[in-house]
Structure 1
Amino acid sequence: MKKIQTAGAIALAAALCCSALRAETLLQVDASAPVAAPTTGHLKLGASVSPKGERLAVNNQYLSLNGKPWLPVMGEFHYTRSPASSWAAELQKMKAAGIDVVASYVIWNHHELNEGQFSWQGNRDLRRFLQLAQQAGLKAVVRIGPWSHAEVRFGGVPDWVVNTMPTRQNDAQYLRHVERLYAQIGQQLKGQLWKDGGPVIGIQIENEYNLTGPGKGAAHISTLKGLAHKAGMDVPLYTVTGWDGTVYPSGEVTPVFGGYPDEPWGLPTTELPPKETYAFRFDSRVSGDLGAQTAATARGTAETDIALTPFLGAEYGAGLPAMYRRRTMVSSDDIASMLPVQLGSGVNLLGYYMFHGGRNPLGEHSLEESTASGGYNDTPRINYDFQAPLGPDGQQREVLTKLRPFHLFLQSYGSQLATMTVRKPAAVPPHPTELTTPRYAVRSNGDSAFLFVNNHVRQYAMPQFSDVRFSVKLPGGTLTFPQQPLTIKNGDYFVWPVNLDLEGTRLVYATAQPVTRFDAGTQGLVHVFSAASDQPVELAFSAADASFIEAPGATRHEVDGRVVFSGFKPGTSPVLTIRKPGQRPVQLLALTAAQARNLVTGEFAGQPRLLLSDQQLWIAGSHLELRSAGDARLRLAMFPAAAKTPQGSLALKAAGSDGLFQVFEAQATARQPVASFRQTRQAQGALPIMKGGLAKAALQPIPEAFSAAAAWQVTVPKDALQGLDDVILEADIVGDIGRLYSGTLMLDDWYYFGPKWQIGLKSLGKALEQPMSVSVLPLRADAPIYLPREHRPDFAGQKQVAELRAVRLIPVYRLSVRP
């Protein structure tokens, strides 16, 4: 084949020549060793075949579905903390976010507050929740306790149990009540298990269990598993949490792991050292302290079981709660940057806690974890926002859009990744607090691999690494890339493919992140990548494949038997097309990072689609649903194009095309309801914050201390919701604790820590008919609590602050699109 020299190729050659004269940083990984074959048969799990013949299995390396390796994404959503009327849409939103499995605690005291009086109705209807999950296309893991933690009073164990008998051990009286609870749960799950054609593939037993001694330890977990099985809970997967020295009967259950970007349960009132969740792990699965409320006395079973069980996750923090003494705020990058680290460390089930925020059920009893009831932490009485990707009122946060491209990646390429072994770089940081060594890892199987890089550590600046190339030793030889050395800046994190099969054509490497593989039928196959905003995209192929590749406008350079294409402009048009005789064309789409964050995949009008929207978008049966907070203009782009213009609940008009995508727009009638507020009570002097409790740290003020709170009457127009899907009431408070009331009924509460406090008016129902008020307990300047430094108030020499700075109503518009 004739070598083509273009001006771009000459410029690239010159750049390579100049870079060779600079000091190059070569980051090396030996990935040449063979991958061990998985072992099976040693895990004693449950019924694994559905009535349709679908098989879910577990080996010591990964999960498999119908004989194919499976690397799913799991997200926690507590049904009892959300209105039942919202479940269907919220589960559909999770599915659109790339979640495969929904997990939820069955919180005992939410169902049996008083002995023998079980409630499974309304927002406690577990069976209906699971049915809706299956309708949304989700599988489910049910976490049956009996002890949950979940920032709940007594870990969810009812008061009448705690006050009467020993718990969390093989006490005969306790086990009788656990057996009755499990029997009730078993009835809820009847017909919903995988073996029955239902969505429930897993049961988690207990939580954060590291107790040892007579009647405790592995013997207790074994007893609980037996009781679960007796109650009919026969499932493919039984799990226990694997951190903080957990103990369990090896082979009977599989441990799951987690990690958080901060420790809201911690004691320091200052920033923590760099967290372990940002450093790749090569010898351990336990990511530091996850806040178990009991102390381990020995090394846990999970540490000794590494060779026997797959690396499964359940509690990687998709957000963080604000606890009274430590109120941590996380950015979307603080969360998303953990994903390359966890996947690059070998995780083969990516599980989040929490993916959907909520609120504790209202009632005469307070059900939150608190030091007043002997808990280790103080948490809000009602609010369980968790800074989650989906807020308590279903609002989509930025973090969801940062996570979703990784989820789509796992749906398309996870079956390959699941079989790959973690490869340790030649040089690694000696400990998580060392910030000068590049952080990266490779997972590979044969000559196929993925490179994982993270240069983001929460609250700490990472160095910039210039003139970087990677050298990966594979069985077929050493690959050094990219051709043009790159700069890894503070905050960068990404996943790149090595020797990725593109329907028979080998992509040797790409300096862009794979997002999804899409079958467009007669229009061919599309592999979608995400390009970093300022990282040049290189796509390398073998020279033998070059004649089949069309890359108009790209720079082409031949080196070492490969053809490297560069100079692409990311966007919605294909950057490259592969046309081989007798095969459908394969197109590569390199979206900008912002476009990739707005990408949703799903079926519409009888065909799979790539969907792009700046708005929150999900699929509800045959409809597309768009939800926009604050912007009355809604926009949707889809590929392949619809055969006919869809119909909308608002006037929907075709708006041309954007690259491959067909564009539609709608304009809702703009509304801007306005709330007013006036102060009705001045703040009084707040009492000094006491210390004590199990943590010997700051305690939430006692109820009588709230007499010092300032108060404001808040007036919302009676027609605020007219013509809208919802209205978000947003309060900008500065103080210690805010509370929202309808008359004397508390609707929500909030620990101040920076973000504005939000609550959806639609969820309030008849409470809107009563006068509403906001109270703010003053925050003392000497409060021994942690607040993010950027949000610690300026006290201006005053001893305390209690302010309601603004109240805003954010209109939420909705567009339903049908074929």
Structure 2
Amino acid sequence: MVPSAETHHLRIQPPGPVQRGRLRVTGTSDPAESIEVTSRYVERGGTPWFPITGEIHYSRLPRHRWNETLGLARAGGLTSVACYVFWRHHEPSPGTFQWTDNLDLRGFIEAAAAHGLDVIVRLGPWSHGEARHGGFPDWLIDWAQEHTVALRTDDPAYLERVRALYRETIAQLRGLTHAEGGPIIGAQVENELYDQPEHLTTLRRMAEELGLEVPLWTATGWGGAQVPETLLPVYSAYADGFWADAQTDWPHFAAPHYQFDETRDDLGTGADVRAALGADDDASEAAVRTSPTPFITCEMGGGMHVAYHRRPRVTGRDIAALAALKIGSGSAWQGYYMYAGGTQREVLGGDQESQATGYPNDVPQRSYDFAAPIGEHGQIREHYHLLRRQHLWLQAEGSRLATMTTTVGGGSGAPGEPRWAVRSDGYSGWLFASTYQPARVGLPPQQGVQFAVTFDDGETVTVPSRAVDIPAGTWFTWPLRYRLTDDLVLRSATCQVVTRLSRRARQAGTPGGGQTGDPGRDVVVLCATAGIPPELVLTGHVPVGGCARGVHTEHDGVEVTVVHVGGEPGAQCRIQLPGVEVILLDEATADRLYVLGEGQQRRLHFSADPVYLDPQTGEVVRLSQRKDSRVLSDLHPEATAGVPRTGGPADRLTAPDDYSGAAVFCPEIPPEAFGGAHRLLLRVEASFDVGRAWVGDRLISDHFWHGRVWDIDLTDVQQQVAEHGLRLELLPWDPDLGVWVDPAVRDTPAGVHLRAADLIRVERTVGV
């Protein structure tokens, strides 16, 4: 027994009845595909449904990368994608609309459908999304000022312009809506509009009058927004925010997201823009804890952008822990912003949020990487794998989880208090616990911990059977009274469920590899929790085989079989139980697990490289990267910067525009480096203030240094690089300038220090 053990107790009440009929939902002729919103969850075909959505901006990606990005999103466990329709991209001049190349909204939706993904279209008209004027065209701003038109209101002159935009947009969607058998399940009107509920109602009515028929209509609800009953409020949750002041070490709005709490609102997201636009902020004092609608996130941070004055370095573990805690707090729909980064379009004056257009912040002119699970140039990040683990579990168990309500066991802001909660249907459930916060505000370990959960039938389940120490920086979700088969119950486990396959849908191994295990058994994949001994407790007297043995005993007054695992968890650790095979993975192996295919064709793949299914051929596509060659190393040139300036409504530091004193590098890119490469990146490891990459007179990339590498995609500019070469301009880092960077890199010396610039080849292999 661990010394000073403490058992934390919680009694579970069964969920109350769900309410129906509050929101008007458009139906479909196919009852198996009907979508309904209850007070706790969304149903599809009469079955509770737990969707997983990721934001991907088609107009910020080259069209030839849509298929790969959507394939990786599906392999990452998403069930749907969301996308802004930026007005400024589609109507660059009054009455002239563009829907071709990577502005082909219809083509993007069709590509998503080919990968089995639903789509939520964020219609605007105002989007934000770190776009110039929030996505409004420049001509609209000029016209409104000239004619004294109130934008984002029911001003008739403004609505006439919006009607023209909606008419053109909806024309692109005909035949693709859910009611027509297509992938579009929802539409969002406007974004971050806090005090105009009548206008939000008008926008939905206008879209429907123009022929858009979708089951789900949403509006962003954070900041105390006044969302009318005709729309479903959706929420945000960010681990940090570039929009905070440079003096803020960790924004006040971030800390609650690392506690178990049914509060939905985030009063910090977009608050600086809200103030800059003069919005009435009185309502933002009321945080939403209960609501007659499900807890849905549409902007849970899949990463974080950077501004010139403040440059967060959100990690993959920061993001995955926050996502897990949102599930434990009652989320019934996980929605990420962003899931795949992109690049701002090349337009005169820039396409990005900036102080020049009334924002408080300057952000990079080209890069919109957002530190997303899939990077700006297709890079696969740590949280792509960490989130995939959660998504595979939600795909397998989300239907039951969605119906379960949360009971918080503990976890205020006090660092030493255990943070834990249970989601339950009254009889069974999931125990969530966390000792995780971002490193600079980390939490201590919890020593000698057990959890005792009493269900509605009066039976108590204590887990683990012996108290354990929970390491710092850990989060987990453990099953309670989880049914492995109709006749076999996993009473508790110190392991997480990753996925499960029926006996008719299983193949296990590496891509292209063989099949193992007993084909007569279902498969349940578990993942051991790092730093905590794996323990499985089965109800009753159960024979155990494979890499484990069973000990029959009594626990909590109930006859049980405690499973003791022999050897280390991994793909080879297979436990044979009546009617089911349990594969017990370690975390590193779980991060290599993919479940590819649909229905009875679902199969397990273990791959160190990202993989996805090509929807046309059904073949597995593998993407691998390797360092090709080093083109620059160990350079410390002299460089000078111009006089720092401040600007914008919050008087924050302004991004420099004087590069006359920048350090200049012209790395030689050998033509043969492109040969046979699916993608070629230049990876710059350096410290500096701001960097820009030019090919001739074309700015192809920029980077506000914040401690991460700077990746520059050369794939689509191969010919131009051959003709004009590549030029890097780096301004010197000044630690006394007042820019906020993460404490992990805050002691970086002044100047420009280029450690290495490497060519990175990404190769694509099909059918392995």
Question: CA separation in 1, counterparts of 2:349 and 2:177?
Answer: 33
Aligned counterpart in structure 1 of residue 212 of structure 2, from 230, 233, 254: 233
Q: How many Å apart are 1:603 and its aligned residue?
A: 2.5
In the alignment, the residues of structure 1 paired with residue 704 and residue 547 of structure 2 have an alpha-carbon distance, to the nearest angstrom, of 55
Describe the superposition over 1:718-769 as per-residue Cα deviations: whole angstroms up to 9, x where unpaired.
Answer: 1211122222211123221100100111001110111110022223353323
Q: Does residue 1:309 correspond to 2:293, yes or no?
A: yes
Q: Cα deviations across residues 183-233 of structure 1 (Å, max 9, x unaligned)?
A: 11101111111111111101011111113xxxxx11110111111112222
User: Structure 1 608/712 Cα, relative in aligned 2: closer, same or farther at 3 Å?
Assistant: same
TM-fit CA distance, 1:364? 3.0
Aligned match of 1:743:
696
Aligned residue number for residue 298 of structure 1 = 282
**Secondary structure at the counterpart of residue 741 of structure 2:** coil
Q: Is the 8 A contact 1:674 1:717 kept in 2?
A: no
Range that drifts further, 294-303 or 806-815: 294-303
Instruction: Say which SS state the counterpart of residue 618 (structure 1) adopts.
Output: strand
Q: Tell me, what secondary structure is at the counterpart of 1:588? A: strand
Distance in 1 of aligned mates of 2:214 and 2:718? 39
From the superposition, tell whether residues 221 and 487 of structure 1 become closer, same or farther in structure 2 (CA, over 3 Å). Answer: same
CA distance in 1, matches of 2:29, 2:364: 42
Task: Look up the match of 2:478.
Answer: 496
Q: Deviations over 1:236-256 (max 9, x none)?
A: 101111101211212x00111
Q: 2:420 matched to which residue of 1?
A: 440
After superposition, the C-alpha distances for 1:621-642 in whole angstroms (9 at most, x for unaligned) are: 31101111117xxxxxxxxxxx
- 1:556 paired with 2:551, answer yes
Seen in structure 2, the aligned counterparts of structure 1 residues 441 and 612 have a Cα distance that, compared at 3 Å, is same
Q: After alignment, is 309-318 or 262-271 more displaced? A: 262-271
2:219, 2:234 within 8 Å by CA — same for their partners in 1? Answer: yes
1:465 CA displacement? 1.1
Partner of 1:35: 15
Quote the offset at 1:169 in angstroms: 0.7
For the residue of structure 2 that corresponds to 1:267, the secondary structure is coil
Instruction: Provide the C-alpha distance between the structure 2 equivalents of 1:284 and 1:777, rounded to a whole number of angstroms.
Output: 43
Aligned to 2:754: 804
- Equivalent residue, structure 1, for 2:619: 623
Give 1:595's aligned residue: 589
Alignment counterpart, residue 565 of structure 1, candidates 550, 563, 566? 563
Q: Aligned partners of 1:562 and 1:135: how far apart in 2?
A: 47
Partner of 1:780: 734
3-state SS of paired residue (1:265): coil
Q: CA RMSD in A?
A: 2.2
Offset at residue 549 of structure 1 (A): 3.9
The offset of 1:307, in angstroms, is 2.9
SS state of the match for residue 627, structure 1?
strand
The answer to whether the aligner puts 1:83 opposite 2:36 as a matched pair is no
Residue correspondence of structure 1 range 194-205 to structure 2 within 5 A:
194-205=178-189
Aligned AA (2:551): R
Aligned to 2:641: 686
Q: How far apart in 2 are the matches of 1:304 and 1:98?
A: 29
2:631 is the counterpart of 1:675: yes
Amino acid at match of 2:575: L
User: CA contact under 8 A between 1:246 and 1:296: conserved in structure 2?
Assistant: no
Partner of 2:397: 413
The answer for the alignment partner of 2:725 in structure 1 is: 771
* 1:816 matched residue in structure 2: 766
Take 1:324 and 1:614, find their aligned partners in 2: how far apart are those partners?
A: 35
Structure 2 runs not aligned, ≥5 long: 145-149, 505-518
**Distance in 1 (alpha carbons) for counterparts of 2:79 and 2:417:** 35
Deviations along 1:603-652, one digit per CA (max 9) or x if unpaired, are 39983210000011111131101111117xxxxxxxxxxxxxxxxxxxxx
Q: Is the 8 A contact 2:258 2:321 kept in 1?
A: no
Aligned to 1:648: none
Matched-pair contact (CA < 8 Å) for 1:629–1:811: yes
Task: Verify: 1:711 aligned to 2:642, yes or no.
Answer: no
Residues 562-609 of structure 1 show CA distances to partners (whole Å, capped at 9, x for unaligned) of 221123431223542222xxxxx3111111111111111113998321
Matching residue of 1:789: 743
Secondary structure in 2 aligned to 1:226?
A: helix
| AA in 2 matched with 1:266 | A
* Corresponding residue number in structure 1 for 2:684: 731
> Residues 781, 588 of structure 1: CA spacing in aligned structure 2 closer, same or farther, 3 A cutoff?
closer
Farther-moved stretch of structure 1 (769-778 vs 374-383): 769-778
Is contact 2:260–2:421 with CA below 8 Å preserved after alignment?
no
Matched, 1:513 2:496: yes
- Is the 8 Å Cα contact of residues 677 and 714 (structure 1) preserved in structure 2? no
- Deviation for aligned residue 1:281: 4.4
SS across alignment from 1:565: strand
User: Deviation of residue 40 (structure 1)?
Assistant: 0.6
Q: Answer yes or no: is the 8 Å Cα contact 2:31–2:45 preserved in 1.
A: no
SS in 1 for 2:441: coil
Residue 6 (structure 1) aligns with: none
* Match of residue 656 from structure 1: none
Q: What is the 5 A alignment of 1:99-114?
A: 99-114=78-93
Q: Aligned equivalents of 1:553 and 1:195: distance in 2?
A: 50
- Aligned equivalent of 1:356: 340
Q: Report percent identity of matched pairs.
A: 32
Q: How many residues align?
A: 733
Distance 1:184 1:766, change over 3 A: farther
Name the SS for the 1:340 alignment partner.
helix
Partner of 2:606: 612
**Paired residue type of 1:188:** Q
* AA in 2 matched with 1:570: P
Runs of 5+ unmatched residues, structure 1? 1-17, 212-216, 580-584, 632-671
- C-alpha distance in 1, partners of 2:370/2:475? 24
Deviation at 1:554, TM superposition (A): 2.7
**CA gap 1:327/1:562 in 2 versus in 1, 3 angstroms:** same
Q: CA contact under 8 A between 1:276 and 1:287: conserved in structure 2?
A: no
Residue 299 of structure 1: how far off its partner (Å): 2.6
Q: Report the Cα offset of residue 51 of structure 1.
A: 5.2
Match of 2:249 among 262, 265, 271: 271
Alignment match, 2:355: 371
Aligned pair partner of 1:757 in 710, 714, 721: 710
Contact 2:471/2:531 (8 A) holds in 1: no
Aligned to 2:283, the other structure's residue is in SS state: coil
Q: Contact (CA 8 Å) 2:543, 2:550: kept in 1 or not?
A: no
- Deviation of residue 469 (structure 1)? 0.4
- Residue 402 of structure 1 is matched in structure 2 by 386
Query: 1:30–1:424: 8 Å Cα contact kept in structure 2?
Result: no
CA 283–418 in structure 1, closer or farther in 2 if over 3 Å, else same: closer
Question: What amino acid does structure 1 have at the position aligned with 2:380?
Answer: Q
User: Which residue pairs with 1:260 in the alignment?
Assistant: 238
Q: 1:765 to 1:121 in 2, by over 3 A?
A: farther
Contact 2:470 2:531 in 1 (8 A): no
Pair 1:553–1:408, CA change in 2 (3 A): closer
Post-superposition CA distance 1:500-558 (Å, at most 9, x none): 11121111111100010112324321010111233211111112xx2444355435241
Given residue 566 of structure 1, which amino acid in structure 2 is its aligned partner?
H
Aligned partner letter, 2:532: Q
Shift of 1:369: 0.3
1:449 aligns with 2:429: yes
Q: Please state how far the C-alpha of 1:781 moved relative to its aligned partner.
A: 3.5
Aligned-residue offset at 1:54: 1.4
Q: Could you tell me which residue of structure 2 aligns to residue 160 of structure 1?
A: 139
Which deviations, in whole Å up to 9, do the C-alpha atoms of 1:353-380 show, x marking residues without a partner? 0000100112334110000111121110
Match of 2:168 in 1: 184
Match of 2:103 in 1: 124
8 Å CA contact 1:322, 1:328 repeated in 2: yes
CA deviations 1:646-702 (Å, max 9, x no partner) are xxxxxxxxxxxxxxxxxxxxxxxxxx34535899x975532232223112221222x
TM-score (norm 1): 0.86
Counterpart residue type for residue 559 of structure 1: E
CA distance in 2, matches of 1:233, 1:111: 18
Cα deviation for residue 67 of structure 1 reads 1.1
Q: How far does residue 814 in structure 1 lie from its aligned partner after superposition?
A: 2.1
